[in-house]
Chain A
């Protein structure tokens, strides 16, 4: 089965630092997403991205967050100035057309110290 690839699998950073989480969606997919899961809590939608722009974002996705598809294959999530409460597992996901199955990557565990 095709895979969404995320790197790194673990990222440790100091509070206030910038981090970039990287994702390689499935190659012919058109829609891209970031979700996050704080330890012990539910998976939460952050942002969806289509046609090189954000199509929807949640209230979690504030000005500290940004997404980019810099080269047609990677899809990145940047957190400009990390806070302790940003510590979570971040999942990238992608899908083909409307109504098709969503594929999740294996996640990046972000720890902010």
Chain B
């Protein structure tokens, strides 16, 4: 089983729609969780950390279910600029920041 598993997509979504991504992780001892976005041939950029209580940042909402080892990201009112690959990332070693990345989910927002 992959350490971090994501649906690779692609997701092609009309502008203004809501889109949801899911991710599962295999290591129950994982300590911290993130969503990154990566534009084509660019570096990953932190979108948001994910907390057990769920957290929101503008149009973005992230949820963590530790019991199911499941992480989600919801994007509301999607914009053309949201087109990117969304990476689910897990840190199994807090203090060492050895991040384990999923392969990413490709999102294209259609005008």
Tell me the residues in window 19-59 of chain A with beta carbons closer than 8 Å to chain B beta carbons. Answer: 31, 33, 35, 41-45, 48, 55-56
Q: List 16 A-B contacts (CB under 8 A).
A: A31-B97, A33-B97, A42-B87, A42-B101, A43-B38, A43-B87, A48-B96, A48-B98, A56-B93, A89-B41, A99-B94, A102-B97, A104-B45, A106-B42, A107-B43, A109-B41
Tell me, yes or no, whether B30 is within 8 Å of chain A by CB: no
Complex formed: what's the CA distance from A33 to B97 in Å?
9
Interface string of B36-61 (1 = CB under 8 A from A): 00100111111000000000000000
B103 within 8 A of A: yes
Tell me, rounded to whole Å, the shortest Cβ–Cβ distance linking A107 to chain B: 5
Q: Which of A44, A48, A107 contacts B101 (CB 8 A)?
A: A44
Min Cβ gap B19→A in Å is 21
User: Chain A residues in contact with chain B, CB under 8 A?
Assistant: 31, 33, 35, 41-45, 48, 55-56, 89, 91, 95, 98-99, 101-102, 104-107, 109
Residues in chain A near residue B93, CB distance under 8 A:
56
- When chains A and B are docked, how far (Å) is the Cα of A109 from the Cα of B102? 20
**With A43-B87, A44-B101, A45-B99 in contact, do A98 and B94 touch (Cβ < 8 Å)?**
yes
Q: Are A43 and B97 in contact (CB under 8 A)?
A: no
- Residues of B at the A interface (CB closer than 8 Å) are 38, 41-46, 87, 93-104
Determine the main DSSP class of A at the interface with B. strand
Residues of B within 8 A of A44 (CB): 101
In terms of DSSP, what is the predominant structure of the interface of chain B? loop
Bound-state CA distance A109–B40 (Å) is 13
Partner of A56 from the list B94, B96, B102 (CB cut-off 8 Å) is B96
Instruction: Tell me the nearest residue of chain B to A104, going by C-beta.
Output: B43
A104 and B100 CA atoms in complex are apart in Å by 15
Residues in B with CB closer than 8 Å to A89 are 41
Whose C-beta in chain A lies nearest to the C-beta of B43? A104
Q: Which of B42, B95, B98 contacts A45 (CB 8 A)?
A: B98
| Residues in chain B near residue A45, CB distance under 8 A | 98-100
